[in-house]
A and B are shown apart, each in its own frame.
Chain A
Amino acid sequence: AQSVTQLGSHVSVSEGALVLLRCNYSSSVPPYLFWYVQYPNQGLQLLLKYTTGATLVKGINGFEAEFKKSETSFHLTKPSAHMSDAAEYFCAVSGGNQGGKLIFGQGTELSVKP
């Protein structure tokens, strides 16, 4: 069985500040991990993914995430927030070759203050 927990349903940062969105997972098989972003009235867009190999993965729009197996975490970071980063962010896990089904966290809404 797999599950995802995102710590904090709302995160607010100032423009230019560090963005840190937390995600912890549980999985009985080696996980594939994803971060998606959802802008208002739009579907989900893939930010980045971890499957195998390098544990620090870089995505679009300056975001990156690090897979830490010992901590069962996959936190999303960005060094300097922009106003355009305001959106909802979802962490998701799949069981690798177990058919592509995604289990999502509950989402974190990011607000960016001027």
Chain B
Amino acid sequence: DADVTQTPRNRITKTGKRIMLECSQTKGHDRMYWYRQDPGLGLRLIYYSFDVKDINKGEISDGYSVSRQAQAKFSLSLESAIPNQTALYFCATSHQDSPGGPQHFGDGTRLSIL
């Protein structure tokens, strides 16, 4: 089984819908991250969390929210999806004893908003 699991792997939805992407990990890491990947732009950080009670905005948090339900679970929500949020989304984890990284990634969620 994968150490970092993202669900769903693929999702097609319509503009204005609320979407939730889920991430769970079995690595026992305390730090979790959400990124989006767009062609030619690499990965950009949306939100990150260093423990259950800690939530921080990344560089592109507008239009997104997150919830850290437990140490192992970190979900990303799009409150009202818009087409320019079509992208590949990645969850990642890291250990507090490796503060500079590296990070361990899930296989991604491909989200298409029509």
B101 near A32 with CB under 8 A, answer yes
Residue contact B42 to A100, C-beta cutoff 8 Å: no
- Please choose the segment from B62-70, B74-82, B104-112 that sits at the chain A interface, where 4 or more of its residues have CB less than 8 A away: B104-112
Please state if B42 and A105 are interface contacts (CB–CB under 8 Å). yes
Whether B99 and A43, one on each chain, are in contact in the complex, defined by CB atoms closer than 8 angstroms, is: no
The complex places the Cα of A5 from the Cα of B35 at a distance, in Å, of 18
| A111 → B minimal CB distance (Å) | 16
Q: Which residues of B contact A102 (CB under 8 A)?
A: 33, 43, 45, 101, 103
Number of residues on chain A facing chain B (CB within 8 A): 30
B108: A residues at CB distance < 8 A = 41-43
Tell me how far the C-beta of B23 lies from the nearest C-beta in chain A, rounded to whole angstroms: 11
| Chain B interface size range | 20 to 34
Chain A CB within 8 A of B12 CB: no
Interface positions of A from 15 to 40, Cβ below 8 Å from B:
32, 34, 36
Q: Which residues of B, 57-94, contact A by the 8 Å Cβ criterion?
A: 58, 90, 92, 94
| 22 CB < 8 A contacts A-B | A34-B101, A43-B90, A43-B106, A43-B107, A44-B92, A44-B103, A44-B105, A46-B102, A90-B42, A92-B101, A97-B99, A98-B100, A99-B99, A100-B100, A100-B103, A101-B58, A102-B43, A102-B45, A103-B45, A106-B40, A106-B41, A107-B42
**Which B positions have Cβ atoms within 8 angstroms of A?**
4, 31, 33, 35, 40-45, 48, 50, 58, 90, 92, 94, 98-108
Interface contacts beyond A100-B100, A102-B101: sample of 13 additional A-B pairs, CB < 8 Å, sorted by A? A4-B42, A32-B101, A43-B106, A44-B43, A44-B103, A46-B104, A97-B99, A98-B99, A99-B50, A100-B31, A101-B33, A101-B48, A103-B45
Closest 9 pairs between A and B when the two form their complex, measured CB to CB: A43-B105, A32-B100, A104-B42, A104-B43, A44-B105, A106-B42, A43-B107, A94-B100, A46-B102
